[in-house]
Homo-oligomer: A and B are copies of this chain.
Amino acid sequence: MPHTLLDDLCHELALANRILYDQQIVDGLGHVSVRHPDDPSLFLLSCNRAPGLVRPQDIVCYRLDGSSVDAHASRPYLERFIHAELYRSRPDVMSVVHSHSMSVIPFACTDSPLRPIFHMAGFLGEGVARFEIRDAGGNTDMLISSSYLGQALARSLGSNNCVLMRGHGSTVVGTSLQQAVYRAIYAEANAKLQLAAQGLGEPMFLNLEEAKLSSNMNDGQIARSWALWIQRLGDISLEE
């Protein structure tokens, strides 16, 4: 079977899973997906497996209703509807990361707003959305386990890049896999800085224009960090 561009993308998505684990954005839970390059009504996501263990052969192609194209695919993540509905509602989004990263959750569970405290997180400048699952589903197990809840999450996200999920975690979106991974890592870094700074006094945040200019500038520098993140992983292609 000839090696295809899709094979390359599955390999890169497996690397993205490993990076998010290595950078401590995900533990045994959390997931990252990428929209199918040829068909915007499909997306690629690992089967139900810890991100730190995902291999290219674990990647499954899903439809926007959460069903897998291959009827014999391995057991899926319960929350694949996060990805499905964000791809449906946001044609500009090419990649989605959902995590329980530890510094962001305190902002999801209190009224304290998450705002860009340094240039690396300029992408937060447009605003960080909040999602209260009780508004859509009443008392639940907190998971986005249906198209219905995924749509509610998508409405909360709106045109933002990041949504805080009360009692749960957060989700970021990007126009590329590398950008979404970058945003998950620096949303966490920004939250960590903000937690410390708010203990000292009132932080001065980036204003809207600074945030936008920083965000555009950072997009041209992601490759530098990506090369580092990849190098830390060693050769994952050797795993069976």
Interface residues of A (CB under 8 A from B): 27-29, 48-50, 52-53, 78, 100, 102-103, 105-107, 109-112, 116-120, 122, 139-143, 166-169, 189, 192-193, 195-207, 209-210, 213-214, 216-217, 221, 224-229, 231
Known: A106-B197, A109-B193, A143-B217. 12 other contacts (CB 8 A): A27-B228, A28-B224, A28-B229, A50-B224, A102-B189, A102-B196, A105-B197, A109-B203, A110-B200, A110-B201, A122-B141, A167-B204
Determine if A118 and B53 form an interchain contact, defined as CB atoms under 8 angstroms apart. no
CA distance A205 to B167 in the complex (A): 7
Determine if B118 and A105 form an interchain contact, defined as CB atoms under 8 angstroms apart. yes
Closest CB pairs A-B (n = 9): A28-B225, A119-B142, A106-B197, A50-B228, A141-B213, A110-B201, A141-B217, A139-B209, A112-B200
Task: Report copies per complex.
Answer: 4
A102 cross-chain contacts in B, Cβ below 8 A? 189, 192-193, 196
CA distance A19 to B210 in the complex (A): 31
Interface centre among A195, A197, A207, A209 (most CB of B within 10 A): A197
A106 cross-chain contacts in B, Cβ below 8 A? 193, 196-197, 199-200, 203
CA distance A207 to B48 in the complex (A): 27
CA distance A189 to B30 in the complex (A): 15
With contact pairs A102-B193, A210-B167, A227-B50 given, residues A141 and B216 touching in the complex (Cβ less than 8 Å):
yes
CA distance A232 to B50 in the complex (A): 12
